[in-house]
Every structure is written in C-alpha cells, then in structure tokens.
Structure 1
Amino acid sequence: MKRIGNFSCLITSVLSLLVIFSPQALAQTDVSVQATVSETTIYTGERIQLSIQISGSFNEVSRPSLPSFPDGFRLLSNTPSTSRSYRYINGQSSTSYSYNYQLIAQQKGEYQIPAVSVTIDGEQYATEPIQVSVVDRNESARSAGNQQPDIFLQLEVSDSQPVVGQQIISDVVLYFQDGLEVNSYQPVPGWKAEGFWKEELNNAERPEATSTIINGVRYRRARLLQFALFPTKEGSLEISPYKIIVSVRSAGRSRNDPFSSFFGNLSGNQRQVELQTDPLTLDVQSLPASENNSYFGAVGSFQISREISTKQASEGASIEITTRIRGTGNVPLISKPQYELPEGLEVYEPKETSNLNRNNERINGTKLFTDVVVARSPGDYTIPEQKVSYYDPDKGSYVSQALPALSFKVTPSPNQVASPAGNDAMPVRPVTGLASWTTPASVSLLSYWWFWAGLLVPLCLLVLAYRQKTYYNRMSNDRAFARSRKASETASERLDRAIALSEEGEIKQAYNLLQKAITGFIGDRLNLPEAGLSNEEYIKALDNENIDAELVKNIRMLLDKCASISYAPETTHEYLKSHVGLAESTLEKLKKVL
C-alpha cells in the first residue's frame, strides 16, 4: 500500500510539472499587454496618443476592444495605426504588436482612461486604467505663473456694445510663447455666428507675429483671420467659439520669424493642437427712433446720390432712376429707399447690384438700385425731392441727406397713327350711264372666323397684359412674393458657384455656399428672416409645414455635413459634387411641396 501511495504522489507531481511547463502555459506567462498615453497632463484641444502594446509568444491576437471613453475625450478614429515586429533570441521567438489611437481633450477635469481588453489565443487580457488631467487652455491664459499655456486662441472684436446693423471687426488671434514655431493652421469648418450677418475679410499676406506680455509672460501675437459681423437683432448675442487646428513644433528661441516655415517641411518635436476661442457675448443696442420715415436701413458712413437716365423720352419708352449708395458699413444689408412717383408712370421691378471691397480690414463698396418706369401718356413729370437718412455709429446719430428733384418730359410717340382731321364727307358725283344692278346675298359677320379672332385676340392680350402688370407690381412691392419666386434661381446660382469654388480649391467656401443655397431656398419660400437663423430653426420651419419626414431628414443631413465637413485632405471636388447633386434633387422635391 505504501508503494502504491508513493507512486501516486510521483504521478501527480509529474502531471503538475507538465501542466506548468506546457507550451500554452509558457506562452501565457510570457504575454504582456500594456496601455500608455503620450501625455498625462494636457490642455483642452490637444491630442494624445493611446498606445496598446502587446508582446510575447502567442499565435493569434484580436484588435483591442475599445471602452466608452469619458465625456472629456473624443476618439478621432476607430481605425488605429498599427506596427508589428518579431524577435528571435536564444532559440525563443517573440512578437510585438502596437495599436495607436488618437484622442482629443474637449473638457477640463480629471479623467480615467478605462481598461482596454484584448483577446490573445482565446484568453482575455486587460490593461490598467490611466489617469489623465485636462487643463482649460483659456483659463490658464488668464491665470498668472507657470501654468499659463504655451499657445491659445482668442476672438477680439472692435466693439462689444454695437447697434443693430453696425459693422464689427472680429479678429481671430493666436498667442504662443517664444520657443514655439507655427508650421500651419487650418480653420475647422462650421463656424456659425448666429444672429449676425458674416463676411470674411481678405488676408492676402501671411500672418505677422508681434511681441506682447500677458500676466508677466512674453507671447507672440499673430492675427490669423478677420471677419466683419453685422448684428441683425438687438439683445444679448453670443458668438460661438471659433476653432482651428495648428501644427507647432519646438524651435530655438533665436528664431526671429516664428512663421518662417509656414506650410514648410515639418521636423523636430511636432504636434497638432485643436484650439478654440471662448464664447463671446455682445450687448447689441437697438437703433434710436428716427425723426421721420427717411431711414432706409443703412448703418455706417455713406454718400447717396440718384440720377435719371434721360430728361426727355417718347411715350412708352423706359426711363431708369438709379440710386447709388457708396461708403463703409452694412452695404450687403441695405434696402432701397422709397420714392414718391407722379401719377401716370408704370413702375417695374427694381434692379439691385452691389460691389463689395473686403481688402481694407472692413467692408466697403457701392450698392446700386435701378427703378424702371414707363410713361403711358405725354407730359411733364417731376419726381419730388426726397430726404433719406442713415445711422452713423461714430457720431451716434442719424445723418440726413436731401436727394434733388428729377424732372423729365415725355413726348408723343412718333409711331402713333393720326386720327382724321374732321368728319366732313368728301363730295362724290353720281355715275350715270348703263348700269347693271344686282342684290348681293346677305351674309352675317358672325360666320367669319376673322370676326371672332378680332374680338378674342385683343381680349386675351388685355387679360395677359393685366396679369403681367399685376405680377410686376407684386414683384416690386411684395418682397416676400419676390423672394419666393426667385428662390429657385438664387439657389441654382449658389450651387453653380459652389462647384466653381471647389474647382479652385476653395472647399470651405464651397460648402458655405451649399449651405446658403439650402437655407436660402427654405427662407425665401417660407418668408423667414434672411440672416441669423440656425439650422435647427430651418428644420423646425419645415416640420411646421408638415413636409415629408424623409425629405426633412435628407435636408438635415446636408446641413449637418456643411456644418461639420472635415478639413482633411480627402475632402475633394468630387466629394463636394456628390453633395451638390444631392442638394439639387432635394431642392427639386422641396420645390413641389413649398
């Protein structure tokens, strides 16, 4: 019995050793799974790299199963960059895998990157959680000491208490400390300045950096972009954060021009940072009451004149009255002054043209309104003197200007057929001699087709002329009707312009025009305000019209795409053309129900 017992102990020991030193057990004890991040303390908007390192002897490994990341971080892509290597040392082989993911910090706070699980040869492995601190970049910029960030973005405006319609110059300014070199920057599309009409000003020259000190720390200051904003309503209006992506690297402090390698080759300790400005609230004041009805919506500094195309015209000829408004201010938003016209003139839809200059750090230019009138009877006509006024923010008051009276003479048309001078009958002598008298058959005029044509054709022309005149009068006086009728044409022009801009490489501007084509069509058809509405307000307006849910869904998708189109290089002309085609088909469907 004793021998049997010893033998049983021996068998048990051998089996235990075989299990412990089996290839699978050896492989599992050699496997290492570890998660690391490139930085554990970062600013908002910065990116960190989460790396999953797997090494050891194994046969199969699955892609890491990512957890739900905390709200303070956003995963840029589910597809990692990978690398793999093999080693063979002293008869033992080992494999190393690396999976790298990019995360961007969005909110300040203390966060824990959860454990990441990986399946290796059928066994589940998990990494250790990682603690990461996110510091708000703009709050740090306002604090003193060494906690200030090395780079941050600000939105600076020329006036924080403007009046409705006043031109506000808004600068997107980058601040960065010495020792950093800015290689490139890329605005993030989709910036919405709700409640404002927005115009981007031209910046032909590259940014120039100047030196400044903030809370005892020396920074370089560079204005990257500049916009002209025009508030369209009064009250407290918030300008949403503006975002850019900048590529920076550490550089020697002796560099005189930190933008010297702008868009050049990258090297050194390079990193990409997503920066955004703080939300900025403006207290928009209402315009003071005007003493009379001469104000026509202009805010700024202007010169106003009007002229007539001719002082003498024949009856039925067209005469043009041109009003020219030239100066600096809300030129794109100016409406036509209203004039008192004498009786006997037919007024047609006015023409409107504008020429804007965006080069001199502000919006200025000329806007022309051309009224076309036709006199239906000869005589002397006078368009009386007209007083117009605009609001000058620099003076804080209205500026009035008198437009002189315009006189012209209308002469009878030379093509008019003269009527007989009198009713006296010409003397006729009777003809005598042989004559053969016959009695012609009596035929009623009602049996001739030309009789009915002579009655109906003028009547049809009269009805057609009346409808045409009514249409022109309504297009001239009913702005909502005019917008609705011209909505399709305006949308088509914007889509064509978007494709042209895309071919020139201006993808961001092309998508902005695509968004304006859609929202402009909806606003014109539903008589919504021409500026200052958000995408959600346009969608809500369609829902109130009981538009088909699938059609509204497509419109929402297009607007969201325009607001968040990626700045990545794969955004191409062909990619935009596909969205333009979808927009055209969607607008065709929308045209049938609005």
Structure 2
Amino acid sequence: MKRIGSFFCVICSAFLLAGFLPLQAIGQSNVSVKSTVTQTTIYTGERIQLTVEISGDFNDVSRPELPNFQGFRLLSNTPSTSRSFRYVNGQSSTTYSYSYQLIAQQQGDFRIPPVTVTIDGEDYQTEPIDVSIVDRNDAAQSGGSQRPDIFLQLEVSDEQPITGQQIISDVVLYFQDGLEVNSYQPVPGWKAEGFWKEELENTQRPQATSTIIDGVRYRKARLLQFALFPTKSGELQISPYEIVVSVRSTRSRGDSFSSFFGGFGGNQRQVELKSDPVTLNVQSLPAAEDSYYFGAVGNYNISRDVSAQKATEGESIEIKTRINGTGNIPLITKPEYELPDGLEVYEPQENSQLNRRNHQISGNKTFTDVIIARKAGHYTIPEQKIAYFDPSQNRYVSQTLPALNFKVARNPNTVANGPSAGTMPVSPVTGLAAWTTPAPTDLLSHWWFWIGLLLPIGLLVVAYWQKRYTDRMSNDRAFARSQKAADTSNDRLKRAVELSEKGKVKEAYNMLQKAITGFIGDRLNLSEAGLSNKDYIQALEQQNIDAELIKNIRMLLDKCDSISYAPTTTPEYLKSHVGLAQSTLEKLKKVL
C-alpha cells in the first residue's frame, strides 16, 4: 500500500504541475509592461516624467526597480501611482501606472535603461528609451533665434527613392510656446512637378508634440500627408507648400511674436506660410531581367481568370487581371498577354479602388480584356510570367500566371438556310419561239435623249452648288471648321502614330488629345483655345450624345491629360488608344 500510495502521489503531482504551467503561461502572455517619457529632447535643468505602465490579467505586482540614470537625477524614489480596471467580453484587465520625475543635468545623448517589474513572481523589463539633452546656454548662442516663431516644413520619408516608389510627404507646422493655432487652410494649386501625388486621409485631428530645433523649443503638428510617386529619375524638387494659418499670441506686445505680426500681440491674425522646396535624388530602376515588368513598384499580389470556360461563337469572354497591394497602383499599366489566333480583342477596361488610409496608398486595380471567338474550338491562353519591383527588397519579384483554357462551341444560328442539296434554284424556260416585227418608236422614248437634255442642267446645278460651297468655305469660318474637322482629326491621329514610333510618347498623346478635342470643337464651333476637357464633355452632353460614347471620350482625354505624370508607356499601348480614338471619332461623326 505504501508503494501504491507513493506512486499515486507522484502521478497526481505530475498532472497538477502539467495543468498549472499552461495557466501560468497564459496569464503571463496577457501582461504588458512599457515605459514612456513626456519628451525625448530637453534642455539641461528641465524636468521630464518617466511613466511605467503595467496592464493585463495578474494577481500581484511589485513597485518598479529603477536603474541608474546617466545624465538625469531622480527627484524622488516615491512615484505617483494610478490604477484602473477593465472588463470586456468576460475578460478582466488591470492597469497600474508609476510616474517618476527626472531632471536633466548633463548635455549629450543618453539612454534610459530598462525598468524591471516583478509580476506574479516573474521579472519583466521595459524597452530602453533614447533621449537628448541640450545645453541651454549653447543653444542660445547657436543662432536659433533667427528662426521665425512659426514656420512650415515638408518632411519626406525617403530622399533617395526609386522611380515609381511611394514616398510619404508630411506637411508639418512648427510654432513656439505662447502661440495658439486656431485653424489652417491650404492654398490651392500645389503642383508637385515630376510626381504623381495622392492626398492621404487622416481621420484624427492634428496633435502637437514638443521638440527642440537649433536650441529653441517648438511644438510640431502634422497637418497633411501626401503619397508622392516620382515618374522619372534624376534630381527632382518638390515645390513649396503654402497654407494660411489663423494664430493668436498670448505674449506681451514687446516679444518677438508680436513684432512678427507687426506689433499686435494677443490678437488673432491670418498668416501665410510657405515651406522650403525639398530636393530628392531619384534613382533609376535597375535593368529588368526580362521583358515582363509592367510598371508596378511596391508589394503586390497578381491573379487572372476567365469569366467562362464555355461559350459559343460570337459570345464575349472576359479576362480579368487583378492586382492588389501597396504602391503605385494609379500608374500601373495592363500586362500584355499572348493570345491565340481566332480571337478578337477589344479595348481593355480599367477599374481601380484606392485606400488612402494607414499613411500609405493601397488598394487594387482590375483590367478586363473583352475577347470574342469567331470560330469554334479549344483555346488556351498560355501562362504568363510578370514582374514588379519591390523597393523594400531592392529587386524585381516575378510571378507566373497560370494558363487559361476555354471551349467555344459552334453557334447553330449562323448556319445559312439555303436550298437543299441536289436541287437547282433555276426554273426551266419552256414554250415556242415567236417572230415579231419591232414597232416604230418616237425620239422621246430613247433614254439617251433625256440624258442629253438633262445633263447640261445637272452640270449647271453642280457648278452652282460648288461655287456656293467654295464661297461659304472662304467666308464662313465656322462652316469651314466643321467641314474640315474629320480630315484634320485623321491627320492628327496619323501624326500621333508617327511620334510614338519615334519614341516621343508624351508628344504623341498630346497630338491624340488635339485630334479628339479639335474634332469636337470644330463640329460644335467652340473656342479654339482656353477650354478644358470638362468643357468639351459638357458640350457633348448638351447635344444629347450617347452616355457610353461620352464615357469613352472622357477616358481618352483623362489618359492624354495625365500622361505627363504617368510612367513610360509603350508604343503598342499608345496604338491601342489611337485605335480606340479612331473608332470613337467614327461614332462621333455619325451624331455630330
């Protein structure tokens, strides 16, 4: 019995230990310990507050064990404490906060070491914190007083990006203590030449934090944030950003802020601020290993599929290419595929959805190719290898899209209903031959008599019409523009193709835009200069033009208008837009 009892005790102890350890591990995994300071850049003699916060589900916690502080002096070992409880979804959570006052004593860069806290018998440590202490006397002699009391600055995430890489530009306002910023209003018209720009959404109000610049304490607040995509390499300059700020000084009339506004301290004033330009050294994309790069820079996931595996002759099938991720989504062009013979391909459709939150541009873009098979059979679109450039890895990332297969059946409605085989669609001629004597006819019964009589009259009518047409072409400018519109647009389309073959893609798109807007303006007798794309679209809408036709025209004009921001476009892609413009103008000629 003794042996059995001893063995039973050992087994029970093992089970209890096995059950206890996971519970303890689970409890500890829910514990969080962190330390923070009120400021990371301070003057000598200034105070900062070090706060140690413990949160989670635990039973016992000890007071933090403070390390030795270099560059600081601890004012008191007794902290100010606070405690709070939370109960969410059946889980309880406790938060303890211990706050200590430190005074900066020595100039330099220092690190506040980790703080140790014992929780339920286990030791936890916080992360170290880097701080800088600035000597107040040295700062006063450094010339920092030359800075204004309030100024604007553009701050970028990367000063040496890759072409097409997403960089974040913050519009940051700096102002000294004693100033109250009530509101701000951006000045419209900011153009970042050489960049495609997208304003990012910020759901939170600007929050001011403290910092020291050239020995002077400022408060800083990020007002706006933009995603910029450089479209070419080399030295590019981001133009200054301008805002109008409503501020109020709480200082006396004799201080520097009052003189900055002309001696009206304490009153609210509107101030125009302008940031300095920022110069970036944009690096060229490295040479692609193959020809499968399609202009995407970022981090993406790419897929494609067909709308149906079975169809009949003449039915349309859609090939959808989906690209989602983070990067230059607005500038991505459609990957080119090798299609088998027997398929008619129409202008691809583009659809994109952008997410401007989380301090970056992300989202997806879908290209839809519409194809129609004109004969029955099995079709295979071979697998396609494509690549995008990932700046975080500084290399091209390749991805293989699988092959697409579909079957096209014969359409029974296309079979012609002709005569049955073996029968001749000819009726025999029967009867006897009859001899007749032609009766005499007069002159008026001959066709050539009437032609000879009416031909001079017709020539006179044509000559009169031609003379009137020539006079009107010379004197009526609106009529002349309308009559020459088609020929002029055709010449411009041919010129666009010639420019694209010479590699002048931007000039080619400009010529393509002139072909479309020139035809509309000539037909509707609009002003020959000073009109925007919106004006041409509104003019078409007033003529009750088909909405789908107007949609294609708007897409073409937007493409031409944005080509100065877009990446390098291939001549083949330009030719597809020329083809779409030709078909669109042919439709437009029928209704204008």
TM-score w.r.t. structure 1 length? 0.49
RCO (CA 8 Å, sep 6+): is it higher in 1 or 2? 1
TM-score normalised to the size of structure 2? 0.49
